[in-house]
């Protein structure tokens, strides 16, 4: 079942096209990653999907509800954590969670239990009595994300939720999100940290200049765009390795506990064979050989670069 379905969705501001005829479909109970460089259209798309702005053209259905006809019905079923800071400066952390639950008409017992659960889960126990104005930016961000879980929802939009969090808090939040999805929640997730998307997302869309330029699972994106591989060969201390490897192709040499030959190429296997043959001919033993998988960050950079080059060549 589709939780989000957008067709030919566009949004313009004057002569600027922020979102350009995109199609999106997000399955229920999945984590959907939405990636793109700054100014690509991520935030505008999220505002469209959450009914904060209206589309210039196209249609959006959220949880089976037409957003243009019934925006209030949509808002009752979703949660939203935007990138902009949002907090009540004079309220304590504990009161912020409690009042947010009251806004959503959560009954007193459930509200109390959830406050305690979230204070513990988001490591806020020690600052529960502090005012939001008196805590750090990272702590405020944890409060901002935590309070959204005070109410029941079917779909949660998270815009850069880990911004400002330390590595421990970041991993804790990601694992908490995973647990919620296992219980049926659907997540629409934006981030600039590609390792997060790779760790968390079932499917990923990459947007650039308002258009979706790639969409698939992380593994399939790697299969499609990750033709380049990195292979590292470690040998003993051989200072004059360049004379041994003349004419074998592209490679780099570094020195760290021996000589490291690094191949990074779409034809890395062919280059590897030539290097191994050259080493064998010169009686140079290989101490270690490893293949470094293509990361999602490399895929992202490649796809965006190719998209920009295509736009330049077409005069856009």
CA of 87: how far to CAs of 83, 98, 159, in Å?
12, 13, 16
Mean pLDDT over the full length of the chain: 89
Q: What is the DSSP letter of 293?
A: P
Looking at domain 227-292, does it have CATH number 2.40.260.10?
A: no
CATH class in words for 2-220: alpha beta
What DSSP string runs through 258-287?
Answer: SEEEEEEETTHHHHHHHHHHHHHHTT--EE
Q: What is the DSSP letter of 39?
A: T
**How many other CB atoms are there within 10 angstroms of residue 123's CB atom?**
14
Tens of pLDDT, residues 136-183:
999 999 999 999 999 999 999 999 999 888 888 899 999 999 999 998
pLDDT confidence band for 202 (50 / 70 / 90): very high
Least confident range from 122-136, 162-176, 287-301: namely: 287-301
Is residue 45 within 8 A of residue 19, CB to CB? The reply is yes
Q: Kindly tell me if the per-residue pLDDT of 313 is higher than 60.
A: no
Mean pLDDT of 300-309: 80
Q: Where are the alpha helices (DSSP H) in 210-251?
A: 218-225, 241-244
Q: Kindly tell me if the per-residue pLDDT of 309 is higher than 80.
A: no
Percent of the chain at pLDDT > 70 equals: 95
Domain locations in the chain as residue ranges: 2-220, 227-292
pLDDT confidence band for 228 (50 / 70 / 90): low
Q: What is the DSSP letter of 191?
A: -
pTM of the model: 0.79
Least confident range from 68-77, 107-116, 181-190, 220-229: namely: 220-229
């Amino acid at each position: 079942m589709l939780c989000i379905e957008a067709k030919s969705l566009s949004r313009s501001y004057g002569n600027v096209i922020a979102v350009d005829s995109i199609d999106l479909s997000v399955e229920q109970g999945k984590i959907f990653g939405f990636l793109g460089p700054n100014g690509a259209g991520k935030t505008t798309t999220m505002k469209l999907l959450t009914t904060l702005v209206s589309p210039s053209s196209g249609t959006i259905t959220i949880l089976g509800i037409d957003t243009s006809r019934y925006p209030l019905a949509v808002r009752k079923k979703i949660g939203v954590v935007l990138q902009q800071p949002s907090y009540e400066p004079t309220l304590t952390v504990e009161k912020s969670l409690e009042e947010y639950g009251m806004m959503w008409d959560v009954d007193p017992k459930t509200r109390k239990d959830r406050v305690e659960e979230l204070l513990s889960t988001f490591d806020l126990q020690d600052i529960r009595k502090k005012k939001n104005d008196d805590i750090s930016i990272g702590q405020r961000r944890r409060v901002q994300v935590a309070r959204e879980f005070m109410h029941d929802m079917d779909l949660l939009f998270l815009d850069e939720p880990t911004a400002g969090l330390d590595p421990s808090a970041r991993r804790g939040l990601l694992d908490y999100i995973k647990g919620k999805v296992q219980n049926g929640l659907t997540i629409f997730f934006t981030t600039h940290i590609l390792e997060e998307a790779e760790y968390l997302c079932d499917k990923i869309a990459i947007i650039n200049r308002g258009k979706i330029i790639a969409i698939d699972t992380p593994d399939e994106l790697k299969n499609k765009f990750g033709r380049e591989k990195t292979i590292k060969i470690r040998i003993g201390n051989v200072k004059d390795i360049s004379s041994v490897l003349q004419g074998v192709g592209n490679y780099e040499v570094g020195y760290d506990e021996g000589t490291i030959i690094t191949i990074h190429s779409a034809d890395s296997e062919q280059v590897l064979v030539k290097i191994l043959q050259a080493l064998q001919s010169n009686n140079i033993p290989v101490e270690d050989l490893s293949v470094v998988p293509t990361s999602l960050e490399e895929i992202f950079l490649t796809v965006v670069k190719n998209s920009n080059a295509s736009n330049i060549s077409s005069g856009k």
